[in-house]
Structure 1
Amino acid sequence: MSLSPFHLAIPVYDLPAARRFYGEVFGLAEGRSSDHWVDFDFFGHQLVIHEHPKTASQESAHCNPVDGHDVPVPHFGVVLEWARWEALAERLRGFGVQFVIEPYVRFKGQVGEQATMFLFDPCGNALEFKAFKDIGQLFAK
């Protein structure tokens, strides 16, 4: 499957903290930047953090129940290869990141079985990272 990179611009109310989080904690390469925004190579996609006052969803996340967990909404992230997902989980643990939902396998033994983890960046933006042993299960019902 060949995909085009997506572009996502998100609000951050503490640009230096968010820049450190995405650059150092995640290890993402930084692209262009200004005093008010920073581009990152987000696993082959373009993520831009823009300085912006705190939003309502950053103040207090809404959650929906999924597989026995409260999933924060809105959220974004990337579907990674299994080994890369495991390596990211270990990297984040090594930096002491607090997970909203600890890395685990969701829907075990069912259609759509996947590894997943949820966390917040320092500005309250929710992220989810997934992996499938069978990528054909990505949209399976």
Structure 2
Amino acid sequence: MSDRPTRDDYVAWRTVTTRWRDDDAYGHLNNATYYELFDTAVNAHLYEETGLDVRSLPQIGVVAETGCRYYRELGFPAPIETGLVVDKVGRSSIVYRIGLFQGDSPEAAAEGRFVHVYVDNTVPERPVAPMPDEIRAVVTRLLSPTAAPPP
């Protein structure tokens, strides 16, 4: 039995295409590209689900922490499916997990952790609480069944 995340661990899905330039000299997805995929999965979901340009809100989410566990290689030319789930919704922060899948495997090839902290859009160094209601409404629908309820 594997300890890798599986497709069942995620709530929202998006398929992204890979590009020739995404591969590194060794023929697999460059490490930096994984982080671009995490950022795209989170922000595209927020844009689509809120119907807003999230950059124009009074509070904006900035990345406070990221991480990645690599389980197997990904690369061009096959598309990648991104699975998204939320582990925690705080007063001014959200903890996301993003699974990356390529092909039919039920197990993730990689999983990212991505933390947004909401700050004043005019003074980005200052965290604010609470986050915008529009964002909270969308991300609470992504909560993992094992996550603690939001405050």
The TM-score normalised by the length of structure 2 is 0.28
More strand by share: 1
